[in-house]
Structure 1
């Protein structure tokens, strides 16, 4: 309510401490002409307003922190702040994995994108995991895609990257290896050192470290891992998990979540989906490539061969991982064969991996047995022997044909044997028996001391029989 004060000379106006306009005079205060209240009435109203304001200020907001002299926080802001610091329970991803065990890839990806928004990205390798991008598109949610450009991919893969970007209207976030590290590796060991000392060092420089940098900017990632890609190493992949190897943007163990939406999907079903949705695929697939990686380390597979057999083919099955998913590798090669040769055992005696190539027409060779066979210079009978590991999916795949071979050779003067060459026997087999990867098949001719290694990857019974017939 305005109070006008007039002087005998010229008027002046200002703002009082209470926020009311006032004027001053050397003589007396006069009631304003614009209001019928007198000064005493207005002062009474002002007094009551101040008292009401004081009573309101004495009421503390719910859950509000006590005010300090340094700052005054509005009630709404204070309540919001109190709610923001409320403790949030961490997600139980083991429980969530069980909940989503039978969910479709579309449902799993939708849940992942909904939960993590811009802090999650799809890892795209240029192979059939383009299905992940198609599923993400179908959710209708925004999504990010990244890929590792090792500098040694096939030209067809680079062309495929460009096709995918145009098809989905996205920009793939490429991660590159450190140039200094690559230079040091190539200068010290050459361009193809991985053929001689294993691919792990090269993959660590060109793939694992760039991936580590990419994941440090995320809270979750989506991969195309499937259980059937490598039964010996990926058989226990959950659809979602706390990443056991890499760290996310918050740092530390448990800071990154790994989603594997197609873990329970078979490869054939993935391809049926790609065809049904008319999704573009890498042209290398039509040339016999199934699992696609770097050009020097990938080759087509033959009909009936497992898809991972085209990756790092010069190494045994347990090495056919580059390190990106080593946290999901099932450790099966540490188990030892029991006394009867019927299965692999843990230290507590429980059977885990059944033995293979079990037939009355097959001879199980021990270490002394294979050593004696290798030392004989004038054998009375020829032998064909498979060096194997029971957990190896490629050994498992040839079991039926090898057992049939033993049946066909029964009574012909050619003995058929098997020698388990993993675990403690692996170094001996590599040094003395030409073991390169599992399975390795050797023929010990009658009257000759040096075994002949079967050179082909065709392990059907007819191919094996032709090999034996040519050398017996």
Structure 2
């Protein structure tokens, strides 16, 4: 594995496949751009991961990320494991909640040394590399090459390597698995049956292999990227999904230094530091993934709407951060997990307000059949166990209150269980929640086309059609 590492001197490690670049300055607590590193960032805990010097010469290995296993002596592994186990990361997340990204990055690199790496996606994650560079500490960078990235993304990788004097670690999917998928289902099966299977082969499994060689990783997740799945991510956590070098639950720590940073502030930082950016950004691409699954977004659209757009309101996650989804009873197709007797879990109902009409099966059928309605309706097709329905409850209830007395009726129809097949066949249900507008003098309902479900966006949809 080629590692991206920086240190205080420029040197090439013979036979290791690693390069080291340098920062020729000393990190100072005062101002770095518009960011300040507090004294706490400098006077961190004395505990460090005891590894050999970063310029030690490890054995050559064809595996990519598990370099750390080659440079840590067995007795040191036991010591590091014990230190990681006793750390209270929930408490640490609270302590760092208001810390700057630079301070969080410095804390992560100081604590885990060569056992941590930055996950670089080829988009605005370059901010993570810049923060790591500013700490003056050695750091590693890896990226998942799915084989289906845009040419501009590969050019961006090259520009980043040259700018920072590093070598990015590239992880590739298993060729046999890709071959089997393409031969059996074609190159674009994800347009028909969802992106999860392709992402699992090309991204999730390579990531799993990469993380097995680490004790911690650094991501560019932000709370504002996806309100449905990322709104509560902490700045540091025990990874709820993947395993690290020591194996087992709790063996991997996940750092999210920019969790509390707004996208606009990230871009202000990138411009201020004059770092390379993906040229696709200048053409309307905000969130960048594989070429077939990414498109530009229009003004006013949420950045994640450019990803897997054909899936409408499904969760915009590929599986790399599926731990963000709290309710594990929800699968990738928007279906609730069934009990052994075939029924869905019993959970409290949602969207409860006096200004909202609960439609029965007969009620929604009658509404759908009407060709000359006296008033328009907006109706949500939902399942109370669905976390994305739960996430939009507040905004939808507020919408109902705002539209009270306006001549627009607001309704809800529970479309899971025995009603799901009907909703899929007759009401355009693809995933939960699905929102429909039933206009006057027209029998065909109009489907709300975006996952942006704040009250202003919903109101704009209604006002444009009523």
TM-score, normalised on structure 2?
0.68
Task: Summarize the alignment of residues 310-459 of structure 1 with structure 2, pairs less than 5 Å apart.
Answer: 310-331=306-327, 355=351, 360=355, 363-374=357-368, 376=369, 378-381=371-374, 383-387=376-380, 391=388, 406=403, 410=407, 415-420=408-413, 423-424=416-417, 427-436=421-430, 438-443=433-438, 446=441, 448=443, 450-453=444-447
Counterpart position of 1:198: 194
Question: What is aligned with 1:157?
Answer: 153
1:239 to 235, 243, 246: 235
**Does 2:202 match 1:209?**
no
CA-to-partner distance for each residue in 1:144-202, whole Å, 9 max, x for gaps? 10000111111221111111111111111111111111111111111111111111100
In structure 2, the residue corresponding to 1:385 is in which secondary structure?
A: strand
Structure 2 equivalent of residue 177 of structure 1: 173
SS in 2 for 1:314: helix
Deviation digits for residues 96-152 of structure 1 (CA, Å, limit 9, x no counterpart):
222222211111111111111111110000111111000000000111100001111
Post-superposition offset of 1:460:
7.2
SS of the equivalent of 2:310 reads coil
Equivalent of 1:294 in 290, 293, 298: 290
- What are the ranges of 5 or more consecutive residues in structure 1 without an aligned counterpart? 1-80, 335-345
- The alignment status of 1:267 with 2:263, answered yes or no, reads yes
Report if aligned partners of 1:203, 1:322 keep a CA contact under 8 Å in 2: yes
Q: Kindly tell me: are residues 456 and 382 of structure 1, through their superposed partners in 2, closer, same or farther at Cα, counting changes over 3 Å?
A: farther
Compute the displacement of 1:302 (Å).
2.1
Per-residue deviation, 1:213? 0.9
For residues 216 and 147 of structure 1, the distance between their equivalents in structure 2, rounded to whole angstroms, comes to 15
CA contact (8 A) 2:434 2:448 kept: no
Query: Offset of 1:274 from its aligned partner?
Result: 1.3
Match of 1:251 in 2: 247
Highest relative contact order (Cα 8 Å, sep 6+), 1 or 2? 2
- Deviation per CA, 1:39-79: give whole Å up to 9, x if none: xxxxxxxxxxxxxxxxxxxxxxxxxxxxxxxxxxxxxxxxx
Q: Retained in 1: the 8 A contact 2:229–2:315?
A: no
2:219 maps to what in 1?
223
Contact 2:228 2:315 in 1 (8 A): no
Structure 1 residues 306 and 396 mapped into 2: Cα distance closer, same or farther (>3 Å)?
farther
> Which of 1 and 2 has greater Rg?
1
What's 1:75 paired with?
Answer: none
* d(CA) in 2 for partners of 1:88, 1:402: 51
Change (3 A) 1:226 1:457: closer
Distance 1:167 1:439, change over 3 A: farther
Aligned-residue Cα RMSD (Å) equals 3.7
SS in 2 for 1:152: coil
Number of residue pairs the alignment of both structures matches: 367
When residues 455 and 219 of structure 1 are mapped into structure 2, their CA distance, relative to the original with a 3 A threshold, is: closer
Residue aligned with 1:174, SS: strand
The equivalent of 2:10 in structure 1 is: none
Measure the CA separation in 1 of the matches of 2:435 and 2:401.
Answer: 18
Write the distance in 2 (CA, Å) between the matches of 1:84 and 1:155: 40
CA distance in 2, matches of 1:422, 1:245: 30
Spell out the pairing of 1:31-42 with structure 2 (5 A cutoff).
none
Structure 2: unaligned runs, 5 residues or longer: 1-73, 331-344
Greater CA drift, 457-466 or 141-150: 457-466
Q: 1:119-158 alignment to 2 at 5 Å?
A: 119-158=115-154
The aligned residue for residue 107 of structure 1 is 103
Taking the aligned partners of 2:268 and 2:187, their CA distance within structure 1 comes to 38
Q: CA deviation at 1:270?
A: 1.4
